[in-house]
Amino acid sequence: MYRSRVDVLYHFPLCFVQSLLHAFGRGPILSLLHLSVHYADVELAMAMHAAILRQLEDTHLSNSLIAAYLKLGRPSYARKVFDEMSRRDVVSYTALISGFAKLAREDEAVGLFFEMRASVHALATKMGYLSCTYVSNVLMEFYGKCACLSIMLKLFDKMPQRGIASWNTVASCLVKELMYERALVRVHDMLQTDNFRVDYFTLSILLVASAGCFASMAGRELHAHALRSGFETNLSVKNALIGFYRKCGNVKNVVVLFERMPVKDVITWTEMVTTYMEFGLVESAVEFLYRMPVKNCVSYNALLAGYCQNGEVSRSLGLFCKMVEEGIELSDFTLTSVVYACGLLMETKTSEQIHGFVLKFGFGSNDCIETALLYMCTRCGRMADAEKMFHRWPSDQNNSIIWTSIICGYARHGQPDKAISLFCLGQAEGTMTLDEVASAARSLRGRDLLCACKEMTKMRCEHLLELLNPFPWKRDYKDYLNGIPLSDAL
DNA sequence: ATAGGGTTAG
């Protein structure tokens, strides 16, 4: 019975491991590598590494070593083994690429990917090797992650043989791109064309897709399917079900599911915090967070975001301070929420303080943080800063949220002229949807809004009117429309 | 070796 690395090395010194290799082949080494992963024992993996150093031309053994190092959180060791291999195969590339991808080391993963394409994929294509589902699945995942969805789907359609993982990969890429209905339709096709049966991966992905597009019937059918097939007992499926009923059901559905779960993990508990927050039951959410047997930074982020959604500004700032003091891991999610909370607070000093914190911490800027920062500036009277961020924003990734924020900011801080001109520009360029135009319009005073209407087409104007219901100035607006023929205003 | 569930911006 394995208790520790010392035990193993005591019973099996290196020279013995090497003779094992000669006598019994790879089997014992592979088992020991498995044990090293299971017991999170890096040094055992390194001992195996030492034992098979001379066998590094054995591709199979080296691949297992790469996989072990990656699972043990030692990507640089994995890379070293890879670099020293004399013959790499698809498995070597696959292991390392997916390992780097999981660690968000995209540059290295993509670099390897192109290297693989040069050395393996071209050859594989010529030899018709794409029938290897592993190769195609990894290629598909990469095209999916590079937002090259059409290439991914083309590859999928060309695959002579598909495994259930191929279908799951396509569905999950579509879900990640927010194309929920397409994911549901694709898998529906799968059931009709290929004779595949969905597994617990498929069910989890599709439940997320159903929740994402509020496909309440589809989700319930998936639930029934899970019960019939027995996959309902799978933890991922149960957690995905909770997520579905959180979005398409009610608190009671979720609580019943939760209470009947024999095994729960940190994701289950975090789902409960999110559920209570989304239904406005702040105290229950807090209670659940403190009852959680294991929490991580995502759990705290869920609480923090929930405070913001429920207008509990001081509690969210308090929680953030506690997280910093207690050394709880912060992420871009954390910062986005706390910046947003400062926007709600509308205090210039606090906003500058948190702004400095974000810059100093140097969390890679992303759209969400930048948007939250801009929103915060517009709410805290820092319009000059907001303008700078607004103009710096790349024009090819137009974000309607920042348009709405800055228009509302101008309106709030006594600059209706600027608000109106941006408002007109935004709706003319089609940057903002009508819903968004309406939301920005609510921040404008009635008289200012009337000026803006002159710049709009009749259809837009009427649609806006519908959206503004029950906008307080609607009557004035109607009068205005009655008084002046719209054709004059166009 | 490939696929899965929880947290962010108006």
Residue A420 pLDDT: 84
pLDDT digits (tens, 9 = 90+) for A296-323: 999 999 999 999 999 999 999 999 999 9
pLDDT digits (tens, 9 = 90+) for A234-293: 999 999 999 999 999 999 999 999 999 999 999 999 999 999 999 999 999 999 999 999
Lowest mean pLDDT of A56-60, A144-148, A401-405, A426-430, name the range.
A144-148
Residue A1 pLDDT: 41
Q: Show Cβ contacts of residue A216 under 8 Å, excluding neighbours closer than 6 positions.
A: A210, A248, A249
Strand B contacts in A 233-262 (CB under 7 A): 234-236, 238-240, 243
CA–CA gap between residue A351 and residue A144 (Å, rounded)? 38
How long is the CA A403 to C1' B5 vector, in angstroms?
A: 34
Residue A263 pLDDT: 95
pLDDT digits (tens, 9 = 90+) for A439-486: 776 666 565 665 555 555 566 565 555 555 544 433 333 333 333 332
How long is the CA A156 to C1' B2 vector, in angstroms?
A: 13
CB A202 within 8 A of CB A166: no
Q: Which residue is nearest to nucleotide B5 (CA to C1')?
A: A236
How long is the CA A468 to C1' B3 vector, in angstroms?
A: 45
Q: Would you say the C-beta of A404 is within 7 Å of strand B?
A: yes
Identify the DSSP state of A86. S
More confident residue, A203 or A88: A203
Lowest mean pLDDT of A121-130, A405-414, A436-445, name the range.
A121-130
Residue A99 has pLDDT above 90, yes or no: no
- Overall average pLDDT of the A84-104 stretch: 77
Half-sphere exposure of A393 (CA within 13 A, CB side): 24
Tell me which residue of A439, A381, A372, A446 sits closest to A416, measured CA to CA.
A446
pLDDT digits (tens, 9 = 90+) for A38-82: 677 778 778 777 777 766 577 888 888 888 888 887 888 888 888
Biggest CA-to-CA distance, chain A: 98
pLDDT digits (tens, 9 = 90+) for A365-384: 789 999 999 999 999 999 99
How long is the CA A116 to C1' B9 vector, in angstroms?
A: 38
Residue A490 pLDDT: 24
How long is the CA A186 to C1' B5 vector, in angstroms?
A: 20
CB A407 within 8 A of CB A422: yes
Residue A208 pLDDT: 98
A99 closest-nt by C1' vs CA: B1
Task: For chain A, report the end-to-end CA distance as a whole number of angstroms.
Answer: 84
Q: Show Cβ contacts of residue A359 under 8 Å, excluding neighbours closer than 6 positions.
A: none
Residue A345 pLDDT: 95
Most confident among A167-181, A243-257, A423-437, A459-473 (mean pLDDT): A243-257
Q: Show Cβ contacts of residue A215 under 8 Å, excluding neighbours closer than 6 positions.
A: A180, A181, A184, A209, A248
Residue A152 pLDDT: 83
Q: Show Cβ contacts of residue A31 under 8 Å, excluding neighbours closer than 6 positions.
A: none
- Overall average pLDDT of the A402-408 stretch: 91
User: pLDDT grade, residue A85 (50/70/90)?
Assistant: confident
CB A178 within 8 A of CB A196: no
Q: Would you say the C-beta of A316 is within 7 Å of strand B?
A: no
A270 closest-nt by C1' vs CA: B6
Q: Which residue is nearest to nucleotide B6 (CA to C1')?
A: A267
E strand or H helix that includes residue A351: helix A348-361
Using alpha carbons only, what angle is made at residue A102 by residues A331 and A99, rounded to the nearest 5 degrees? Answer: 145
Q: Would you say the C-beta of A435 is within 7 Å of strand B?
A: yes
- Overall average pLDDT of the A119-125 stretch: 59
CB A338 within 8 A of CB A373: no
Residue A13 pLDDT: 56
Residue A481 pLDDT: 35
Residue A476 pLDDT: 39
CA–CA gap between residue A425 and residue A432 (Å, rounded)? 9
- Overall average pLDDT of the A132-156 stretch: 75
CA–CA gap between residue A422 and residue A405 (Å, rounded)? 11
Q: Could you give the angle at which helices A42-51 and A27-38 cross, rounded to 10 degrees?
A: 160
Residue A365 pLDDT: 79
A247 closest-nt by C1' vs CA: B6
Residue A416 pLDDT: 82
Q: Which residue is nearest to nucleotide B8 (CA to C1')?
A: A333
How long is the CA A337 to C1' B7 vector, in angstroms?
A: 10
Within A72-121, where are the H helices? 75-84, 90-102, 106-116
Nucleotides of B strand lying within 7 Å of any protein CB atom:
1-10
Name the residue type at position A68: A
A211 closest-nt by C1' vs CA: B5
User: pLDDT grade, residue A223 (50/70/90)?
Assistant: very high
- The overall average pLDDT reported for chain A is 81
How long is the CA A234 to C1' B4 vector, in angstroms?
A: 10
Percentage of chain A surpassing pLDDT 70? 76
A367 closest-nt by C1' vs CA: B9
More confident residue, A100 or A456: A100
A440 closest-nt by C1' vs CA: B10
pTM: 0.74
How long is the CA A316 to C1' B5 vector, in angstroms?
A: 26
Strand B contacts in A 267-306 (CB under 7 A): 267-268, 270-271, 274, 296-299, 301-302, 305
Concatenated DSSP letters of A388-455: HHHHHS-GGG--HHHHHHHHHHHHHTT-HHHHHHHHHHHHHHT-S-HHHHHHHHTTS-HHHHHHHHTT
Q: Where are the domains of chain A?
A: 1-127
CA–CA gap between residue A126 and residue A287 (Å, rounded)? 60
Residue A470 pLDDT: 45
A159 φ, ψ (degrees, to nearest 5)? -65, 125
Across chain A, how many H-helices and E-strands are there? Answer: 32, 0
Residue A125 has pLDDT above 60, yes or no: no
